[in-house]
Amino acid sequence: MKTLLALSAAFMLGAPASAALLYDAHSCTPGISCAVTSHGSSLGTGPSNADFQSFFAANLGFDTSADTFTWTASSNANGYFFGNVSDSQYAINTSYLWNSSGVICCTIDEPYAIADGNDHNLFIGSDIYGQSGQQYLWAEFIANPGGTFALTGIPLQLTPQAYSMLGADLISVQFLAIDNSDRILARWSQGWLEFDPASSSNPGIPEPATALLALPLLLLLRRRSKLSR
């Protein structure tokens, strides 16, 4: 049976590099000064129980033939569905990404979460384990659709102004929504934030990543602990 440690190593070695995205940030009030809007959505039913059975059997080595999955479903205009998924047999509880070819991601355990995805196929969420690989904004990530263990992170940089404003409260930021202008709505310790794409002529400051190399093994032990209860 493949372990989460092995899956993590394969993901981190295989993740392609992406150009960094530069963001500015400012406080805002939803419905008044926050400019983040909605994006498109897809018709159709999205994933099926059989899709999840196939994905987790192939990537975790479990016999899921009799497993029952429960999931939430949001989507963008390009046929990607995403949300949370859990099962009845193996204590699976994670986020997923699905398109017409089947479930693409993820085998990482909760509290990893995909929060939203726009029609440019940019996905945002929280990853306290640092397995998105390219994240710089503490636990929050922006990512491409690729990756089986976790989505393929894109390097994220902040303008000096944004970094100065957030300061030590950077760690309280939680991404919630992304629109088709790639603007990101977030919560933090002092209320609401909007992250806006910034000009590349404004040099960014990368925030140190918080990946912990031992965490994939801890995740495996955690799942085994759940199964033994």
Can you give the pLDDT at residue 140?
Answer: 92
Work out the number of other CB atoms within 10 angstroms of the CB of residue 149.
27
Q: Model confidence at 130, in pLDDT bands (50, 70, 90)?
A: confident
Rounded to the nearest integer, the mean pLDDT of the chain is 82
Helix (H) or strand (E) run with residue 86 in it: strand 81-87
Q: Rounded to two decimals, what is the model's pTM?
A: 0.79
Would residue 228 count as lying in a domain? Answer: no
Can you give the pLDDT at residue 213?
Answer: 34
DSSP string of 8-77?
HHHHHHHPPP---EEEEEEEE-TTTT----------S----HHHHHHHHHHHH----TT--EEE--EE-T
Can you give the pLDDT at residue 200?
Answer: 63
C-alpha dihedral, 163 to 168 to 169 to 174, nearest 10°? 70
Q: How many independent structural domains does the chain possess? A: 1
Would residue 40 count as lying in a domain? Answer: yes
Can you give the pLDDT at residue 212?
Answer: 35
Would residue 226 count as lying in a domain? Answer: no
Can you give the pLDDT at residue 139?
Answer: 86
Nearest CA to 68 out of 84, 86, 95 is that of 86
Would residue 177 count as lying in a domain? Answer: yes
Nearest CA to 207 out of 150, 137, 128 is that of 137
Q: State mean pLDDT over 196-200.
A: 86
Can you give the pLDDT at residue 12?
Answer: 35
Would residue 227 count as lying in a domain? Answer: no
Can you give the pLDDT at residue 190?
Answer: 95
Can you give the pLDDT at residue 74?
Answer: 96
Q: State mean pLDDT over 28-34.
A: 94
Q: Determine if residue 79 is left, alpha or beta; phi over 0 gives left, psi from -120 to 50 gives alpha, anything else beta.
A: left
* pLDDT at residue 93 is higher than 90: yes
Structure confidence by residue, pLDDT tens digits, 106-129 = 999 888 999 999 999 999 999 987
Residue of 226 and 200 predicted with greater confidence: 200
Q: Model confidence at 146, in pLDDT bands (50, 70, 90)?
A: confident
Can you give the pLDDT at residue 14?
Answer: 37
Q: How far apart are CA 109 and CA 222, in angstroms?
A: 9
Q: Which domain holds residue 145?
A: 4-221
Environment class of 112 (CB within 10 Å of its CB; exposed 0-12, middle 13-18, buried 19+): buried
Would residue 229 count as lying in a domain? Answer: no
Token code pair at residue 49:
């129980």
Can you give the pLDDT at residue 20?
Answer: 85
Structure confidence by residue, pLDDT tens digits, 155-187 = 889 999 999 999 999 989 999 999 999 999 999
The tokens 């794409």 sit on which residue? 197
Nearest CA to 211 out of 27, 15, 60 is that of 15
